[in-house]
Structure formats: structure tokens, C-alpha cells
Amino acid sequence: MVLLPACSPSINNSVNKLYNIQQDALIINVLKDCNIYSVEYQYSNGLREVKKSKNGKFIVPVRREGSNIKKIQITCDGSEVEKIELPLMEFKVPFAVIFGRVEPENISSFDMEYFRNDRFFEELKSVVLLNSAYLSNSIPILMLLPPDKEFEIVYRGYSMFKKREFFDYIINNTVRFFPIPEYESFVSYVMSHEESDRQLIVANKLLNYPVKRVFSLLNPYMQSNDKLRYLLLEYLKLNRDNEISSAFLDDIGNNLKKGEYNSYIADSIKLILESFSEDVKKSFYKTLLEKRVYSDLVLMFLPYENLDKELASYIYENISYQREDLKRRLFYQIEPYFSNNVDFYLRMLEIIPPLREEILSKISYSFKDTRLNKYYLEYGRKRPVPQFVLNYLNNLDDRDKEEFLKTVFAEPVIQREIIDLMEKNDYEAFKRECLKIIYDEKHVLNKYIIEKIGETKVLSPEVLIEIYKKNPNKEEILRALMKIGGMGLDFSWNVISKEFNKNEELIKLLFEKGKKEQIIALWKRIDKKEKNLLISALSGIENRKKPVLCDEILDIVKMEKDRELKFAALWAYIYSCQEQYIDNFYNIKSIADEDLYLEMIGGIKDVFNLNPSLQKKIMDLVENLIKEERREKIIDELNLLKGELQVKLLKID
């Protein structure tokens, strides 16, 4: 049953039946040629009434006192034409037209302006939205409305009653409803309140219309709705050249420029990489390179198979924005395009420190550019000096090489490998440089060169002895002479013995480098009350690692009350008097407190490493110490020592 307000539409006679309720009367016109028209009324109280007419027009009150017409049956010459079931209700609409089973071909016969009447629309809406049944029965008439009004009623009914048939009706008429601005409200409602199956139905239907507005309607839900995002991206795989794909690319590009990063962005970039043209991929690759936040997305593009010089240059310009691991990979990608460009490598050395050694090694023969010096100098300070530093130095022109070596001399440390290279390539030039500096006592590098001469022995002791007489840096020269040894050591001994120079560094060095008889003689001249001088002498003896003054040192260990001096003597005794230390262990232990005893246990390990001939004796000593000991802390230390020594013995075997 379809209900319409009775605003007097013009009605063409081709319509089979027209029922018009006016006030409380039902006017029935049977539009069919008949000899005898017959109408039977069935009332709600069970009574029946039959009326006949020759012109097919009947006027019957809808309501009678205490009863309403329930059913009307119309016949034409004895054949049934129509049965009408009247609802038992009171309409809010005072005037209505009742159409029974209106067929689409009959709709065109009505004056369509009637259905565009605002009063008609408001009265119709107030009736059909009373319940879902009225709305369901009114669908054929709703189709006569303008699309925006039709959509308004059906969407309102869908949001009120939640029935699938209204959802399906909107979906099936998407082609008419989609252009309506309010259609966005329907999409929003479904995406926010309905189950995913309905959401996907809406999206699938929309994707049949490849226009930008479709993307605008779905885009707000791409991040939060995984299934919807998957559907759109799968669609875009197959449809890369329409308005939807264009809107999609614009949206992703705008999000990237704003620094947005979420699962929708990540999935979209993956799709672009897999399915879109090289021009599109290259454009997005460039955009991703501009912000550090997209480092993970840039990784998706690597290795980039269609890299060209233009894109390589763009990567080069933006590589500093990337995180460290990505910088490395990008460097490997673009390096072939810049392999002859020293400026490229200089920049990479600056912004990718972890690759410096690799880069310097690779280009050591390629460039003669002194701007690289500071990087090679950085590795020139290491021991041993890497071969690539020597390669670079060897590849330099003589003038640049000399400048490099001058810079080396200005460094706190000079490497033997570089000195050797200088000696091999131009030993005399190197020697002249050393002599020039060493004779210039005011030269900022004077002390440094003296020290280096002692280490490298590049100049003879005679030269240094001659310089000693004039140079104020006498202690540095004496140290260098002692390091050179031979005549230099004897000269230093004579100077120190004669003047008894109390410089602690010189005393330490002389006790380390001097001859045994020199050490014994010098020991006798040291005032044993001069603690610092005595400790320096003991430190030199410790470094010597050869037996000298063992009895004298043992006496200090046993008798000295100053703990710093006692411990210095102990370690001098351990390192220089190794066998005596093991033999006299119990003798020393008898006067040792716990701290000294723990130092002694550490000394056992050092002697074990220094003197393989004592290893069996040491193992026996440790076994006996464990058996005799009662203190748990000491037992633990001894057991730990025993385990370490046993492991070392196994490695030796």
C-alpha cells in the first residue's frame, strides 16, 4: 500500500485504478470498460456490503460508526479486478491518494512537478518515517521524488531503523545518490557505525565511479580501517591512471610534505614502489629523501634499479638528512656516479664517519688533494699505521708529501711506519728536517723531535751529545740518549752520576735502561728518605724485568712501613726478581696483611706469564697455599688463580 498526500495530481486515464480519499469518503474510479461494476466492502466488525455501478464510480465512507472498512473487492462483469487492504490506522496526513501496486510505466503519466512540491515532501516524510513498514511500502513512490529528497528520506530511515533493505536501496542507487553532497553523511555513518562488511560494500560500490570525489569520501578512514585501506590499495594496483589514483598520489604527496608518517603512508609507498610508473616512483623517492622521518620508507627503494645521474645528485644533496645506516647504503648506491669527484668523497668523509676508513682505503691512490690530509692523519696516528695511509702518502707529489710529513711532526704522536716511509723515500730530507728542528732550541717542536729521535734513533748519539751542550732541554736529550743506548746511555750515566740529577723521569729511565753496575752504583747514591725518587727507581727496575738489587728490594718489602713505597717495592721485586719472588713467597707472606697478600697473589699470575720455566713450581705453590689457607676470601682468590693457570697450561699443551 502506498500513501501519498492528496494535492490533486493530474491523472492520465491510462492508469488502471485510482483511489482518492477525500475527507472520510473513499472515491473509487475503476478505469476499465465494463457493463456492470461491482464493489464489495468488508468492515472490521465482519459485515459485508455490496454496491453496483454502471459508470465505475463509487463513493464510500471509509469510517462508519463503530467500524472501519477493512477490505474492498472490485469486480468487472463478474471478474475480480482488485482487492484493497486498508490499514487500520489514522493517518497524520489529512488527504492521501492510495495507489495499489504502482507500475514504473505508469509513473510517467503523473505530473512530476507534483512530487517536487515541498508541502507534499514534508507530509510524505512525516508519514513514511513513522515506522520501517511504511518506509518499505513507500519505496516506489520515493522514486518519483528528486534524488536529493529521495536520498534524505531513505538515509534518515536507514539511520533510524538500521534495516538492510534501506542500506541496499541506497547502495543500488549509488549512481543517483553519489553526486548529492549529503551522500558524504551516509558514507561517514557507515564507516563509523556499521560492520566492516557494509563498509566494504559502500567502498566497492564507490570505486565503480573513478572520480576524485570517491577518494575524498574514503580517504578519512584509510589510516584507521585496515580492510578499507587494503581494498583501496588493491584497487589502485589495477587502476593507476584515473582520477582516484591521481587524488591518491596527491594526498600521499601532501602528507609526506607535512611529515606525516603512519601505516597508511607506509602501505601506500609500498604500493607506489610495486605498481606505479618510474616517474611516479622517482618523484616520491625524492620526497622521502627530504625528511629523516622517512628513512624506513627510503629503505624500501633500495637497491634502486633505475638510478640515474639526476636522481643520484638529488640523493647526494639530501643524504645528510638520513640516519647513519641508511647513509651507508645510499653512499654505495650513488658512488659510481661520483667516483672521479674528490668533493663527493670529502663530503662523505664528513657526514658518514663510520665509512671513513673504507673510503680512505678506496681512494688512497685516486686523488692528490691536500684537503684529504686531515682524514689520513687521523688514521696515521693509529698503531700500526694502516697501509692505505702509506699508499696515500706515497702517491702525493714531493712537495705535498713534505707538507704532510711536517704536519705529522706537529702531531703528539709520530708513527714508526711513516718515519720508515720517509727514510725509504727521502731519508736525507727527513734527517735534515730533524736536524733543523733540533738545532733550533726555540722551535715549538724541539722537545718533540728530541723525543722522537730517541724512539727512532734517526740521529746518532754523537749529534745529540753535541746538541746537549747547547740545548736547554737537557733532560729531554738525556732521555733520548738513554733510549738510543750504547754511547748515549753511557753519556747520560756520566752526567747523572756526576751531577746526580734528581729528575724522577731520568732516574726511572736510567734504572730501566742502565747497565747493572750503573744501577747498583746509582742506588747507593739515592737518599732512601726521598720517597718519590726511590719510587721512580723501583718503577724503572720493575720495567727492566731483569734481576738487580733483589735483596735490597726485598728488605724494603719486609721492613718499609710506608704502604705506597712497600707496594712499589713488591712489584719491582715481582717483575725483576721473578724466581726469588716465588722462592721467598712464604717469607714475604709472613709479614703481609690481607691487602698485600692479595697483591702477592696477583703477582703469582704475572710471573707465571713472564717465566714459563717457573710454571710447575708456581702450580705447586698455589696448591699448597690453598691447602693451608682458612680465610674464605683468600681461598676464593687462590682457586680463581688456580683455574686461570690451568687454562693457560692447557692452551700451552
How does residue 291 score in pLDDT terms, banded at 50, 70 and 90? confident
Q: Tell me the pTM.
A: 0.50
Paired residues of 61 in beta bridges: 25
Confidence of residue 180 (pLDDT cuts 50, 70, 90): very high
φ, ψ of residue 462 to 5 degrees: the values are -60, -40
pLDDT of res. 548? 92
Q: For residue 96, with 0-12 CB atoms within 10 Å meaning exposed, 13-18 middle and 19 or more buried, which class applies?
A: buried
C-alpha 510/C-alpha 490 separation (Å) is: 10
DSSP characters over 395-457: HS-HHHHHHHHHHHHTSS---HHHHHHHHHHHHHHHHHHHHHHHH-TTSTTHHHHHHHHHHH-
Q: DSSP character for 577?
A: S
Task: Kindly give the pairing relationship between strand 96-99 and strand 2-5.
Answer: antiparallel
Tell me, what's the pLDDT at 504? 80
CATH superfamily of 1-110: Immunoglobulins (2.60.40.10)
How many CA atoms within 13 Å lie on the side-chain side of 116?
A: 6
All CATH 2.60.40.10 domain ranges of the chain, comma separated, are 1-110
Q: What is the pLDDT of residue 130?
A: 81
**What does the block give as the cell for 215?**
577518494
Q: Which residues have C-beta within 8 Å of that of residue 117, sequence separation ≥ 6? A: 7
What's the grid cell of residue 439? 738545532
- Give the amino acid at 344: F
Radius of gyration of the chain from Cα atoms? 53
Query: Would the pLDDT of 156 be above 90?
Result: yes
Pairing of strands 79-85, 2-5: unpaired
φ, ψ of residue 275 to 5 degrees: the values are: -125, -20
- Contact (Cβ atoms closer than 8 angstroms) between residue 10 and residue 110: yes
Q: What is the DSSP string of 117-128?
A: -HHHHHHHHHHH
For the CA atoms of 493, 498, 502, 504, what is the dihedral angle to 10 degrees?
0
137, 131 in Cβ contact below 8 A? no
Burial string for 438-477 (b: 16+ CB within 10 Å, else e) reads beeeeeebbbbbbbbbbebebbebebbbebbeebebbbbb
pLDDT of residue 26: 56
Give yes or no for a contact between 481 and 488, defined as CB atoms under 8 angstroms apart: yes
If you ran DSSP here, which 8-state letter would residue 472 be given? S
Q: Which of 309-318, 390-399, 431-440, 537-546 has the lowest mean pLDDT?
A: 431-440
Measured CA to CA, the distance from residue 146 to residue 127 in angstroms comes to 18
Indicate the burial class of 33 (C-beta count within 10 angstroms; 0-12, 13-18, 19 or more): exposed
**pLDDT exceeds cutoff 50 at 303:** yes
Q: What is the mean pLDDT of the chain?
A: 80
Asked if residue 384 has pLDDT above 80, the reply is no
Per residue in 408-440, pLDDT (tens digit) is 666 555 555 666 666 666 667 677 777 777 777
Q: Give the best-scoring range by mean pLDDT among 24-33, 96-105, 600-609.
A: 600-609
| Residues forming beta bridges with residue 30, ordered by sequence position | 17
Q: Where are the alpha helices (DSSP H) in 195-262?
A: 196-206, 212-218, 226-238, 243-257
Question: How many other CB atoms are there within 10 angstroms of residue 92's CB atom?
Answer: 10
Rounded-to-integer distance, Cα 105 and Cα 338, Å: 76
First to last CA, the chain: 107
Q: Which of 499, 508, 501 is nearest to 475 (CA)?
A: 501
Cβ atoms of 333 and 302 closer than 8 Å: yes
